[in-house]
Structure 1
Amino acid sequence: MKLTVPFNEDDLKKLKIGNTVFLTGTIYTARDAAHKRLVELIKKGEKLPIELKNQAIFYVGPTPPKPGQVIGSAGPTTSYRMDPYAPLLIENGLRGMIGKGGRSPEVIDSIKKYGAVYFGAIGGAGALLSKAIKKAELIAYEDLGAEAIRKLEVVDFPVVVINDIYGNDLYKEGQSKWNRE
């Protein structure tokens, strides 16, 4: 299935855990240090450096690009480090997160309550994932280096639905099926 970011609510309703999705459009990068700063701004009622409404954040700290590249290797980082911050970002309009690994019950509750989706990207395949990134622009928090917020333009960026808007969890379902056999 192909989806455009920023997301359309109806498209997110169609997604089920295990679906392979190819994202095209604008996504942002941010890891835990940037998430902490975004949450602090929200709590202070200040303007964010990015638009969260219907957007996706890719949990990545890309390597520097080699000559002729838009971006270096861009593999997902472990998502649980963003779990303390994700519920408030989801409440404020974030509808997609891309990373690796499971999410906390609090994040899954927020995903279900606000209609967001958590996508998994393949860890260890950062060089391949970077080929789907056509443009990268530094947006905020340059002092964070690789963990600064970047705006990425992606075409057919491959992900898998791990948590859908209905609260389903691919990891738990997969373990459940394995344990029954």
Structure 2
Amino acid sequence: MSKYDLTTPLQIDDIIKLHAGDIVYVSGIVYTARDEAHAHILKLDEAGKELPFELEGAAIYHCGPLMVKEDEDKWEAVAAGPTTSARMAGMTPRLLERHAIRVLIGKGGMQGVADALKGKCVYLAYTGGCAALAAEAIKNVRSVYWPQLGMPEAVWELEVEHFGPLVVGIDAHGHDLFQEVRDQALTAFCHLR
């Protein structure tokens, strides 16, 4: 197990060196995106429309943050814990076909996406229940896109510093820690019967 500090935007070389179980901290720009944001991105892609933000080398955080407006153009993150990534698993392969996203961050794993991540992207697991800790790593809320989707579903452009610790749950080589645990549990259960 190794520890890495990554800064966005990321290149393939930044993520290929990561292996399942490694510890990662991320600095730079991170975009939040949940179900509605994923669907909206794919809808715009299918219509051939440009996105208002850049996903080349990006980090996507499965998060519905709680924000407080400080003044006309200034937001502050109060809580920004991860949401369950499984809800986005079905849309992830299409998203990665169209965009050079290098990091996905969330909780609980993403069953069935290891092949789609191969050679392209990694999934970093963040511990649930750490919403206040996550907010501390957010140094600046740079922008919000599609606020009409609602606060948790909008895309928030966050500037983070030393965001983590994150565990490489699925690496770009096809290793999926979550699937390995499921397989081990199933094997153990079958031996008990």
TM-score where L is the length of structure 1: 0.90
For the residue of structure 1 that corresponds to 2:68, the secondary structure is coil
For the residue of structure 2 that corresponds to 1:36, the secondary structure is helix
Deviation at 1:7, TM superposition (A): 0.8
Aligned: 1:154 with 2:160: yes
Q: Which amino acid aligns with 1:98?
A: I
**Where does residue 167 of structure 1 map in the other structure?**
174
Q: For 1:17 and 1:65, how far apart are their aligned partners in 2?
A: 35
Question: Do the aligned residues in 2 keep the contact of 1:138 with 1:148 (CA within 8 Å)?
Answer: no
Q: For 1:168 and 1:60, how far apart are their aligned partners in 2?
A: 24
TM-score where L is the length of structure 2: 0.85
Q: Greater strand percent: which structure?
A: 2
When Rg is computed on C-alpha atoms for both structures, the one with the higher figure is 2
For the residue of structure 1 that corresponds to 2:42, the secondary structure is helix
Q: For 1:168 and 1:43, how far apart are their aligned partners in 2?
A: 30
Aligned: 1:43 with 2:49: no
Aligned: 1:95 with 2:102: yes
**Where does residue 120 of structure 1 map in the other structure?**
125
**Where does residue 136 of structure 2 map in the other structure?**
131
Q: For 2:127 and 2:66, how far apart are their aligned partners in 1?
A: 16
Q: CA RMSD in A?
A: 2.1
For the residue of structure 2 that corresponds to 1:135, the secondary structure is strand
How many residues align? The count is: 179
Q: For 1:32 and 1:69, how far apart are their aligned partners in 2?
A: 22
The runs of at least 4 aligned residues of structure 1 exceeding 4 Å deviation read: 66-69, 175-180
Deviation at 1:14, TM superposition (A): 0.7
Any unmatched runs of 5+ in structure 2? 189-193
Q: Percent of pairs identical after alignment?
A: 40
